[in-house]
Amino acid sequence: MSDVRQITKDEAYDAVAPDDFPAMMNVDRYNARSTAFDKIISATHDHFWDPLDAKYIDFSEPFDVENEYIIPEELVIELRLPSFQKLTEKQRIRFANESARWMLSSILHGEQGALNLSSSLCHVLRDPGAQEYAANQTREEARHVTGFAKYIQARWGKPLPVGQTLGDLLTDIVGAREVYKKIVGMQMLVEGLAMGAFATFYAKARDPLLVKLMQLVMTDEAFHHKFGKIWADRTIPKLSEEEQNIIEDWAAECFQTLLFNLVNPEQKQILYKEFGLHWEQVTAEMIEAISDEKRREDMTEATNIFRVLIKTLLKAGIITDRTKAFYQTYVDMDELKNEGDRMIGDDIAEDGIRYLQKINFGANVDALKNISIHAAE
The structural domains of the chain, ordered by start, are 64-370 (1.20.1260.10)
Is the distance from CB of 52 to CB of 145 less than 8 angstroms? no
List phi, psi (to 5°) of 56. Answer: -95, -50
SS3 content of the chain, % helix, strand, coil (to 5): 70, 0, 30
Q: Which residues contact 240 (CB under 8 A, 6 or more apart)?
A: none
Q: In terms of Cα–Cα distance, which of 185, 186, 147, 161 is closest to 58?
A: 147
10 Å CB burial of residue 22 (0-12, 13-18, 19+) is exposed
Q: Which residues contact 361 (CB under 8 A, 6 or more apart)?
A: none
Is the distance from CB of 313 to CB of 192 less than 8 angstroms? yes
SS3 343: coil
d(CA 324, CA 334): 10
The pLDDT of residue 368 is above 50: no
Tens digit of each residue's pLDDT (9 = 90 or more) over 170-183:
999 998 888 888 88
Q: Which residues contact 65 (CB under 8 A, 6 or more apart)?
A: 97, 155, 156
pTM for this entry: 0.90
SS3 51: coil
Count, residues in the chain: 377
Q: What pLDDT does 224 receive?
A: 84
Of the spans 140-149, 227-236, 284-293, 317-326, which averages the highest pLDDT?
140-149
Question: To 10 degrees, what angle do helices 208-235 and 191-204 make?
Answer: 150
Q: What pLDDT does 374 receive?
A: 32
Tens digit of each residue's pLDDT (9 = 90 or more) over 20-56:
899 999 999 999 998 888 988 988 888 999 999 999 9
Q: What pLDDT does 144 receive?
A: 97
